[in-house]
Structure 1
Amino acid sequence: MEHSRPPCPPFLTAADAAKKVRLAEDAWNSRDPEKVALAYTPDSVWRNRINFLEGREKIIGFLKEKWEREQEYRLIKELWAFHEDRIAVRFVYEWHDDQQNWFRSYGNELWEFDAAGLMQWRVASINDMPIAESDRRFFWPQGRRPDDHPGLKEMGL
């Protein structure tokens, strides 16, 4: 039996849904594929850009490749909407490739959770925009975004 990952649906308040979003952001900023995958059901279904995945093992493999390619990854997620067992999120992250080319990636995600608070379905649409290193906006040390760092709306993103 899987452990629960509170907050669990139904999401009744924006605060509960926003907490779920922040926990996901924190996990992704850890860049630890095994840790991130524990937030998903064992048979979780993903569409990430043009990649279709099913199951934690595929998710772990995907994330390992992602973070080998997307270096110095820093992410901010923001709650867009929620209802019962679903959350919609918008996000922005910055990263560079192995040639030191910087990018800002903009996206939206749709999430659906089981009763234990594990994500069972994730759909992500993402666009990458090349940026100059001097145009970067995310400078906190690798890992969790500090609590006093502005969110996307405050940054005009």
Structure 2
Amino acid sequence: MAASKLLLPPFTRETALQRVKFAQNAWNTRNPSHVSLGYTPDTIWRNRDTFLRGREEVIGFLKKKWEREHFYVLRKDLFAFTDDKIAVQFFYEWNEKPDASGQWFRTYGLEDWTFDRKTGLMRKRMMSGNDVRIGDGERWFKKGADHVEEVEIGERHL
């Protein structure tokens, strides 16, 4: 993946921010094969209570995820970074029904990422998250993925 190779560890604040937004944009495609290319072939994941190894498991997991999380829109924000690690806080919204007639949720969470120093690909992703029921009027990302940066998220929202 060319873009990630340009963002090799050790990270600076600028490259860490770029890496976070690169991941955000990939996930907002909701294309499991595309998303998986940001990870090493032998990547290790923990997503809540699910443990995964390798891109093929990641692809399968993401396919199932987006079959149940409709109208998924994600924002990731840099939380902290070191040489080859980045921590993010994230927020995403989704509906349980494919026609948006079901319950809306906002998922709040934290991820810690560890990167391969040679390729810039993520070799480890650990995620913790909580789903909160929200009403349609409480949604932050009604305008879609192209507008997530327009939403001001401060401590009062957390």
TM-score, L = length of structure 2 = 0.89
Task: Provide, for residues 43-92 of structure 1, a one-character-per-residue CA deviation record: whole Å limited to 9, x for no partner.
Answer: 00000000000000000000000011000000110000000000000000
SS at match of 1:60: helix
Please state if 1:124 is matched with 2:127.
yes
Please state if 1:48 is matched with 2:47.
yes
Report the equivalent of 2:68.
69
5 Å-filtered alignment, 1:64-143, equals: 64-98=63-97, 100-115=102-117, 116-141=119-144
Question: Cα RMSD between the aligned structures?
Answer: 1.9
Aligned in 2, Cα 1:90/1:119: closer, same or farther, shift over 3 Å? Answer: same
5+ long unaligned stretches in structure 1? none
Structure having the higher helix fraction is 2
1:137 and 1:3 mapped to 2: Cα distance? 32
Contact 1:78–1:152 at 8 Å: present in 2 too? no
Q: Shift in Å at residue 132 of structure 1? A: 1.0
Contact 2:44–2:123 at 8 Å: present in 1 too? yes
AA matched with 2:89: R
Report the equivalent of 2:21.
22
Task: Give the total of aligned pairs.
Answer: 153
Q: Shift in Å at residue 153 of structure 1? A: 3.7
AA matched with 1:10: P
Point out which structure has higher relative CO (alpha carbons under 8 A, 6+ apart).
Answer: 1
Q: Shift in Å at residue 150 of structure 1? A: 3.3
Aligned in 2, Cα 1:43/1:148: closer, same or farther, shift over 3 Å? Answer: closer
Report the equivalent of 1:150.
151
AA matched with 2:10: P
**Percent identity over the alignment?**
47
Aligned in 2, Cα 1:137/1:112: closer, same or farther, shift over 3 Å? Answer: same
